[in-house]
Amino acid sequence: MQIARQHWYDSELMLVTNEFFLHRFPELPQVLVDTECQLEISQHSTHQDYLERFFEVQAIVWSCGKQYPKLRINMRKSHKSWMHQYNIVDSKPMPFNSEPDSACRVGMQRPCTQLLNGCLAKCPALAYWPQLEKKARLESISEWDLFRSYEACPPTASDDELRTSLETKSIPHCALCPSSRVASRHPSPLQRSNLQ
């Protein structure tokens, strides 16, 4: 957060997390206060087993708020706006065949640029694609080639390249995302998913 504040000194910073591992970072509340960064807690489910754990950790977060009065905390019910990111065919995630601009307009991930391995990825779907590809064994499925070809903005990018990357709305890769919202009800995040 300190590095982000140094480089984006007049921006609003926000750390979005599901909060389950915040206990690993006891110094985080003070860092968030010092960098004027808001803490956004993302609720991922309404399943009973998840809610029990979520409420336990939420109590810890609220106690941090009391201990650090300048800490800005917001709860977001992310699960309410989730939509299908892939089609599931024979238990495998498969891409959509959309018009990129239409997919970009409805994409919930659009404003979620990801910093991963020192590079800025356009959205979580592209940033974490290599992990999904490996986990779901999608290496031989050619319909995903466009995602495979994506290159995130590297730390060596010029200011103009960085600006273009951040300001460009839709890119060809958006074609593999849905162009209409279909609500998605996920299984409990505390249970391992088999992508079905």
- Please count the residues of the chain: 196
Which SS3 state, helix, strand or coil, does residue 178 take? Answer: coil
Q: How far apart are CA 173 and CA 171, in angstroms?
A: 5
Residue 194: per-residue pLDDT? 38
The whole-angstrom separation of Cα 130 and Cα 136 is 10
Examine the domain organization and report whether 89 and 31 are in the same domain. no
pLDDT at 57 exceeding the cut of 90: no
Highest mean pLDDT among 5-9, 45-49, 73-77, 155-159: 155-159
* 193 has a pLDDT exceeding 80: no
171 with 95, same domain: the answer is yes
Q: What is the mean pLDDT of residues 165-188?
A: 86
Cα–Cα distance list, 164 to 81, 126, 135, 157 (Å):
28, 17, 32, 10
CATH of the domain at 37: 3.30.370
Higher model confidence: residue 140 or residue 19? Answer: 140
The answer to which of 79-83, 166-170, 176-180 has the lowest mean pLDDT is 79-83
**Is 80 exceeded by the pLDDT of residue 135?**
yes
Q: What is the mean pLDDT of residues 152-164?
A: 94
The mean per-residue pLDDT over the stretch 44-50 comes to 87
Based on the fold, state whether residues 93 and 170 are members of the same structural domain: yes
The answer to whether residue 183 is domain-embedded is: no
CA distance 37 to 14: 5
CB 196: neighbour CB atoms within 10 A?
A: 8
Do 67 and 26 lie in one domain? The reply is: yes
Q: What is the mean pLDDT of residues 150-154?
A: 95
Q: Identify the pLDDT of residue 192.
A: 57
Domain with 93 in it: 82-176
Give per-residue pLDDT as tens, 79-114.
Answer: 777 777 888 898 899 999 999 999 998 877 777 889
Q: Are 71 and 32 in contact (CB under 8 A)?
A: yes
Angle among Cα 42, 45, 46 to the nearest 5 degrees reads: 125
Q: Within a 13 Å sphere around the CA of 112, how many CA atoms are in the beta-carbon half?
A: 14
> For residue 110, which phi and psi values (nearest 5 degrees)?
-50, -45
Q: Which residue has the higher pLDDT, 143 or 10?
A: 143
Domain assignment present for 196:
no
Q: What's the pLDDT at 196? A: 35
**What stretch of H or E contains 166?**
helix 159-167
| Contact of 46 with 12, CB cutoff 8 Å | no
| pTM of the full structure | 0.67
Q: Is the pLDDT of residue 141 over 90?
A: yes
* Averaged pLDDT score across all residues of the chain: 88
Number of domains comprising the chain? 2
**Within 10 Å of residue 176's Cβ, how many Cβ atoms?**
24
10 & 37 share domain: yes
